[in-house]
A = this chain, B = another copy of it.
Amino acid sequence: MAQKTINLILMGYGNVGRALVRLLEEKTDRLRASHGLSLSLQAIFKSTGGLFPCAGLEIKDILDDPAAGLSSHPLWKSNLSLESVLREAEPGVLVDCAPSNLKTGEPGLTHTRLALDSGWHVVTANKGPLAVDFSALRRKASGNRLALKFSGAVAAALPALDVGLYSLAGTEVLAIEGILNGTTNFILAEMGKGRSYSEAFQEARARGIAEPDPAYDVEGWDTAVKLLLIANAVMGLELRLADISVEGIVDLPAELVERARSEGKSLKLLGRIRREQSGPIASVAPCTIDRTHPLFGVDGPAKGITYFTDTMGALTISGGKSDPRGAAAALLKDIINIYRS
């Protein structure tokens, strides 16, 4: 198989960034054999600077000291600029796993624009830039004939976007329903076992399922942002967060969950959007669904999404790891699919 070397720049070196570096090491042979790709990590950026050039480095040297790690490395530069790396290295893919702000999109928004303006594809797990400026970023990417892929920002290993954009090509998506947040689905499952909201919430924390600041999850915003990104990409909309009615599960009365259960039903936090004659209607809210609903069995910390279409009926995807390795695998998949011939 003909081989191609692709440069990567990694923005962010948290759990997902490190999992990706590890995966690049682990999958080197497979990427060559199955896809003819040699992925060459050129630079790693953190908010405090960057490591560059990494190309000659053994990946295990980078991984060896994950905590203090990068900034004590002899090649660490506290004043390294992304512009200089984008200019010096042959364009490939900028991979963004850095933390970002959902209100401003920064610093990811600036990084994404810089990359797309410099001939680099972008693969991102960073919701901020997409939530703030999706339509313009998509236009910039397609105008420059570059890919902007964001499976990792939407549902990690669950291929919600692939199915929506690729497998449903030619259909009209009439509605989407999704259980898009693992933390809230876990809390609801625990409440289904008879626990109160706060007991279930503590359990999610104890198991490391809930984020350090879980308000974003339990108030429904994580679901809303994911729904927004999926609906805009798949249904060709230009929705903003303010267009979605959002209700979370904070302090949800245990009786509601219990009543659903006693009727053989299940209470889920659903993100939903459907086309109406007046335009799309989108919401996030706790909903009681019965056994016939395709997401009925999506339980515990799992996620799932159903597309309702004109020609293919209803299609459901569920499962997929949502740990850092699963998210990194989604990034790697997006990189591979850019270069698929």
Contacts and interface: CB of A to CB of B under 8 A. Distances in A.
A166 B337 contact: yes
A31 B170 contact: yes
Interface stretch (A50-58, A101-109, A155-163): A155-163
A319 interface: yes
Interface string A300-315: 0000001001011111
A333 to B, nearest CB: 5
Interface stretch (A71-79, A246-254, A324-332): A324-332
B311 A319 contact: no
Contacts of A309: 329
A329 B171 contact: yes
A326 B309 CA distance: 10
Contact of A159 (B34, B158, B167): B167
A314 B329 CA distance: 13
B313 A319 contact: yes
Q: How large is the interface on A (under 10, 10 to 19, 20 to 34, 35 or more residues)?
A: 35 or more
Contacts of A162: 162-163, 166-167
A328 B336 CA distance: 29
19 contacts: A23-B170, A27-B170, A35-B170, A158-B315, A159-B166, A162-B166, A163-B167, A166-B166, A166-B337, A167-B333, A169-B332, A169-B336, A171-B333, A309-B329, A312-B321, A313-B321, A315-B317, A315-B320, A316-B316
Given A315-B318, A315-B319, 20 more contacts: A27-B170, A145-B341, A157-B312, A162-B167, A163-B163, A166-B340, A169-B333, A169-B336, A170-B329, A170-B332, A171-B333, A311-B325, A311-B326, A311-B332, A313-B319, A313-B320, A313-B321, A315-B317, A316-B317, A316-B318
Nearest to A321: B313
Given A236-B34, A297-B296, A315 B159 contact: yes
Contacts of A167: 159, 162-163, 333
A313 B169 contact: no
Contacts of A336: 169-170
A239 interface: no
Given A168-B333, A340-B169, A312 B306 contact: no
A108 B171 CA distance: 27
Contacts of A320: 312-315
A306 B294 CA distance: 15
Contacts of A311: 23, 157, 321, 325-326, 328-329, 332
